Amino acid sequence: MASTTARLDLDGNTINPMTICMIGAGGFIGSHLCDKLMNETPHTVLAVDVYNDKIKHLLEPDSLPWAGRIQFHRLNIKNDSRLEGLIKCSDLTINLAAICTPADYNTRPLDTIYSNFIDALPVVKYCSENSKRLIHFSTCEVYGKTIGSYLPKDSPLRQDPAYYILKEDTSPCIFGSVEKQRWSYACAKQLIERLIYAEGAENGLEFTIVRPFNWIGPRMDFIPGIDGPSEGVPRVLACFSNNLLRREPLKLVDGGESQRTFVYIKDAIEAVLLMIENPGRASGHIFNVGNPNNEVTVRQLAEMMTKVYSKVSGEDSIETPTIDVSSKEFYGEGYDDSDKRIPDMTIINKQLGWDPKTSLWDLLESTLTYQHKTYAEAIKQAIAKPVAS
């Protein structure tokens, strides 16, 4: 519950309660941010989304301790004139709304570009025109591929951090060709970042841009056929969870050689709260938010998730825990991949003193415990049910 003693920012000043217009509040990150704001702060949230399933526990019943501090507004920001009014009556707008599942980037590139660029334009415009602060969610995908990935496979320079560590203010953005529509998302996100940055430079918009590096945890995406479409392809955590729950082999795309650093959602949300409550330190900055210590190949992730799931479910793993699939077979034409993603942490460390805490094993243990509790029974029933003819 929110404490009654004065809360102080990093410079010792009292933090005054604020009203936050959170667009995309019903999604994975939004739901965890709403939890944090309701449980630990006095701020009010105007939660905007087309869905609210992931924040239902915060909205009902009226007797909840934070009743009155969170209001849900079901609206599609593509075409709803109420958006400007909500931004105008807030102190801060946080924009999380986006199509952000890789399976969509090459198969629905137009929707992806509209969602990540065109639909975000009015949000930026209303914030700029009404002198409102904006925290915009971009992505680590704006870095694309590492410089090192273009070096010969046996080049010793590939081991030099200068060729793979991703820094907000110096790393280039390296995307594949236009035919590789995977990059439609990264490119749209990059352009909206540039627009926000330009609004800051030319019109004084007070902004912060967040580049998440694979935040994972409970409530991420959906389990196909249970709380999402049977044919849907979520991000890797939910794909692998689905396979483990159904006792199917985990599918390694193109050998599972790509590398990622995963950060626990609860660690990452701490960083966002610091940005919200320390505008003087966060404004005008672009922040990498990730955990450089949690790097694995996708194959290693699959192996670790298999072990952790066995531990939390009490079930032995299946005989063939993984199988290889080509990216064309799994995602279709136009897929491409980021080879390696390690965030440089200098800026967020200096400005906000933030560091991630949770190891990959620990975060998988709490997340897979949640997945097992939430879905194991529903999956059993779905498997037992005869398919309708």
Ligand X SMILES: O=C(O)[C@H]1O[C@H](OP(=O)(O)OP(=O)(O)OC[C@H]2O[C@@H](n3ccc(=O)[nH]c3=O)[C@H](O)[C@@H]2O)[C@H](O)[C@@H](O)[C@@H]1O
Q: Which residues are catalytic?
A: 185
Q: Is 286 in the site for ligand X (CB under 6 A)?
A: no
DSSP assignment letter at 224: B
**Ranges within 100-159 binding ligand X (CB under 6 A):** 100, 102, 139-141
Closest separation between CB of residue 185 and ligand X, Å? 6
Q: Which stretch binds ligand NAD (CB under 6 A): 92-100, 161-169, 298-306, 368-376?
A: 92-100
Pairing of strands 259-261, 295-297: antiparallel
Taking the least distance from each CB to ligand X, the nearer of 47 and 239 is 239
Taking the least distance from each CB to ligand NAD, the nearer of 100 and 244 is 100
Q: Which stretch binds ligand X (CB under 6 A): 26-34, 163-171, 253-261, 274-282?
A: 253-261
Closest separation between CB of residue 6 and ligand NAD, Å? 31
| Spatial distance between the Cα atoms of 17 and 30, rounded to a whole number of angstroms | 19
Binding ligand X by CB under 6 A: which of 28, 213, 287, 375?
213
Taking the least distance from each CB to ligand NAD, the nearer of 18 and 237 is 237
Structural tokens at position 97: 């709304």
Q: Is 27 in the site for ligand NAD (CB under 6 A)?
A: yes
Query: Shortest CA distance to 213 belongs to which of 103, 301, 289, 99?
Result: 289
The helix or strand, by DSSP H or E, that contains position 49, with its residue range, turns out to be strand 44-49
Structural tokens at position 289: 């938010």
| Spatial distance between the Cα atoms of 276 and 305, rounded to a whole number of angstroms | 33
327 close to 253: Cβ distance less than 8 angstroms: yes
Taking the least distance from each CB to ligand NAD, the nearer of 189 and 313 is 189
**306-317 burial by CB neighbour count: b if 16+ within 10 A, else e?**
bebbbebbeeeb
Q: Is 236 in the site for ligand X (CB under 6 A)?
A: yes
Taking the least distance from each CB to ligand X, the nearer of 22 and 236 is 236
Decide which of ligand X, ligand NAD, none touches 50; Cβ closer than 5 to 8 Å per partner kind. Answer: ligand NAD
Binding ligand X by CB under 6 A: which of 258, 261, 291, 322?
258
Query: Shortest CA distance to 211 belongs to which of 281, 287, 262, 291?
Result: 287
Please count the other Cβ atoms lying within 10 Å of the Cβ belonging to residue 113. Answer: 20
Q: Is 371 in the site for ligand NAD (CB under 6 A)?
A: no
Binding ligand NAD by CB under 6 A: which of 37, 70, 77, 92?
77
Taking the least distance from each CB to ligand NAD, the nearer of 115 and 243 is 115
| Spatial distance between the Cα atoms of 164 and 303, rounded to a whole number of angstroms | 24
Q: Is 354 in the site for ligand NAD (CB under 6 A)?
A: no
Closest separation between CB of residue 66 and ligand X, Å? 28
| Spatial distance between the Cα atoms of 361 and 294, rounded to a whole number of angstroms | 9
Binding ligand NAD by CB under 6 A: which of 128, 139, 181, 288?
139
Query: Shortest CA distance to 241 belongs to which of 106, 357, 358, 378?
Result: 378
- Helix extents (H) in 3-153: 28-40, 56-59, 82-88, 102-105, 109-116, 121-129
Strand-pair partners of 323:
251
| Spatial distance between the Cα atoms of 267 and 264, rounded to a whole number of angstroms | 5
The helix or strand, by DSSP H or E, that contains position 215, with its residue range, turns out to be strand 215-216
Q: Is 199 in the site for ligand X (CB under 6 A)?
A: no
Instruction: Compute, in degrees rounded to 10, the torsion defined by CA atoms 311, 316, 320, 324.
Output: -20
Decide which of ligand NAD, ligand X, none touches 76; Cβ closer than 5 to 8 Å per partner kind. Answer: ligand NAD
Decide which of ligand X, ligand NAD, none touches 24; Cβ closer than 5 to 8 Å per partner kind. Answer: ligand NAD
Contacts with ligand NAD, residue ranges (CB under 6 A)? 24, 26-30, 49-51, 76-78, 96-98, 100, 115, 119, 137, 139, 212, 214-215
Q: Interface residues with ligand X (CB under 6 A)?
A: 100, 102, 139-141, 185, 212-214, 235-236, 239, 251-253, 256, 258, 260, 298, 337-338
